Chains A and B, each alone.
Chain A
Amino acid sequence: DAGVTQSPTHLIKTRGQQVTLRCSPKSGHDTVSWYQQALGQGPQFIFQYYEEEERQRGNFPDRFSGHQFPNYSSELNVNALLLGDSALYLCASTGGALRRPNYGYTFGSGTRLTVV
Chain B
Amino acid sequence: AQSVTQLDSQVPVFEEAPVELRCNYSSSVSVYLFWYVQYPNQGLQLLLKYLSGSTLVKGINGFEAEFNKSQTSFHLRKPSVHISDTAEYFCAVTKGASGGSYIPTFGRGTSLIVHP
Contact = CB atoms under 8 A, between A and B. Distances in A.
Interface of A: 4, 33, 35, 40-45, 48, 56, 58, 90, 92, 97-98, 101-110
A48 B97 CA distance: 20
Contacts of B107: 42
A43 B102 contact: no
Given A92-B43, A102-B103, 4 more contacts: A102-B32, A104-B49, A106-B46, A107-B45
Contacts of A105: 44, 46, 104
A43 B49 contact: no
Interface of B: 6, 32, 34, 36, 41-46, 49, 51, 90, 94, 96-97, 101-109
Contacts of A48: 103
A89 B42 CA distance: 11
A107 B104 contact: no
B2 to A, nearest CB: 12
Contact of B43 (A33, A41, A58, A90): A90
Contact of B51 (A33, A92, A103, A110): A103
Contact of A45 (B6, B45, B103, B109): B103
A106 B107 CA distance: 17
Given A41-B108, A104-B49, A56 B43 contact: no
Contacts, number: 61
Question: Which secondary structure dominates where chain A touches chain B?
Answer: loop
A90 B44 contact: yes
Given A33-B103, A98-B102, A102-B94, A107 B44 contact: yes
A58 B44 CA distance: 19
A66 to B, nearest CB: 14
Nearest to B41: A109
Given A56-B103, A105-B46, A42 B90 contact: yes
